[in-house]
Amino acid sequence: MPLPVSEYVPQFLSPDEEARARVRALRVWVAILAVAAAWVAAISSAPLLRAGGYGVASAVVYKVFAAACHQMPERSFRLAGEPLAVCARCAGLYAGALGGILLYPALRPLALTRAPRRGWLFLAVAPTAFDFALGFFGVWENTHWSRFLTALPAGAACAFYVVPGFVGMCAEGFRRRGAPRAPARAQG
């Protein structure tokens, strides 16, 4: 049953609301960018901390990343003689995500909360899947660089789903906080 006219929600924002939405989206994007940059920096910090003699701090960083990556030293780039906190493929995913987040405002409006079609995500993951399959079936030997480079598009594509998702969640949160409470509807 359609809602009564009294519960109609306009689909267009006023110029003032639109400006506030753009500023809010920019703030969300900056926060996501800062978190992604810190995450990528942490990947490099683990080997640098270990090489510098800060074993406990290094162990904490490695432990954090162990939840998301197998951390096989033979599949990881090295920095200061020590493996990064993640393997080459994960490093590509995270670097790609940071790059995608950085480029996002140049390619799509920040206030747009609709994510692209899922097909784009599958297309972006295809190089990684192809690289993995070729290595798995013994067609060719994967390298650090093949893993890293084929994971970059997958990471970059993720940004185009994460950014609008967070912008939309924050917009909903602000809308709900400032909006009057809707009366509860009877369940029939």
Given a cut of 60, whether residue 182 has pLDDT beyond it is no
- Mean pLDDT, rounded, of the chain: 89
**Greater pLDDT, 23 or 13:** 23
50-59: long-range pairs with CB below 8 Å, 24+: 50/80, 50/82, 51/79, 51/80, 51/81, 51/82, 52/80
Residues 6+ apart with CB under 8 A from 118: none
3-class SS string, 97-154: HHHHHHHHHHHCCCCCCCCCCHHHHHHHHHHHHHHHHHHHCCCCCCCHHHHHHHHHHH
CA distance 140 to 149: 16
Residue 51's pLDDT is: 95
Q: Whole-model pTM above 0.75?
A: yes
Show me where the domains of the chain are located.
18-175
First-last CA distance in the chain: 12
Given a cut of 60, whether residue 179 has pLDDT beyond it is no
In angstroms, what CA-CA distances link 65 with 31, 58, 84, 175, 178? 21, 11, 10, 35, 38
In angstroms, what CA-CA distances link 147 with 92, 151, 154, 182? 7, 6, 11, 51
pLDDT tens-digit profile of 123-175?
999 999 999 999 999 998 999 999 999 999 999 999 999 999 999 998 877 65
pLDDT tens-digit profile of 139-151?
989 999 999 999 9
The secondary element (H helix, E strand) that includes residue 15 is helix 15-51
CA distance 102 to 90: 18
Q: Which residues lie across from 78 on neighbouring strands? A: 83
